[in-house]
Amino acid sequence: MIVIDDEPMKVDPISVNAPEIIHWDMMIDQRKEYFRIKRMGDKYEVYSIWEKIIRRCSRSDLEEMYKVGMNLYCEVLKGTEMSLQRITMEYLCMMFDPKRVKQRIKDLHHEYGFKRIDYWMLYENCGVYMITIDKSYHEYYLVDKIYDHIKAKLQAMLKAKLVCPKNSEMERIVVKRTINKSLGLNPDLGI
């Protein structure tokens, strides 16, 4: 005999915070390398340059890309071959774990110097700012994280043009932190 209880039961659904980005890799089409992101539901996005990814992604997308990349591509950081994969991992490490690429950044700073920072750009969609040095080298940093930039770099940033939406709160925070750090003050003073 089977007894069925007619009383309704309260069931709380299990909350699952599944990652939106489940994989990323490089693909080559006619000798050109592309960056491909695979999202949930077998949706793919293809990009030819890193800056387009920054323009389209959210902060959580970048965090997921970093986690996926560290699981799959951490070894490329140890090599010397420059590939889109390595550059991508360097950019992600600059943002989330700068100690991992500290020597590489130091070498590039020695090569490029800081007197030639052309501009820096703020991407509010993901909370990232990019520094462009000598029109060819880029560094990416999170707005809400405090980095150990050297004083000469901070002063060069303040002399360069900041490209961002006018009167944004994020702009105020980034500029204030940069000024405070260049003066040797607490970066969050007055924020």
152 lies in some domain: yes
As a whole number of angstroms, the distance between CA 35 and CA 48 comes to 6
Number of structural domains in the chain? 1
The domain in which residue 132 lies consists of 113-191
72 lies in some domain: no
What is the pLDDT at residue 177? 87
30 lies in some domain: no
What is the pLDDT at residue 10? 54
21 lies in some domain: no
123-176 pLDDT, tens digit per residue, is: 999 999 999 887 878 889 999 888 888 788 888 888 888 888 777 888 888 888
| CA quadruple 92, 94, 99, 101: dihedral sign | positive
87 lies in some domain: no
**Packing angle, helices 151-159 and 169-182, rounded to 10:** 140
83 lies in some domain: no
Position of tokens 């800056």? 51
105 lies in some domain: no
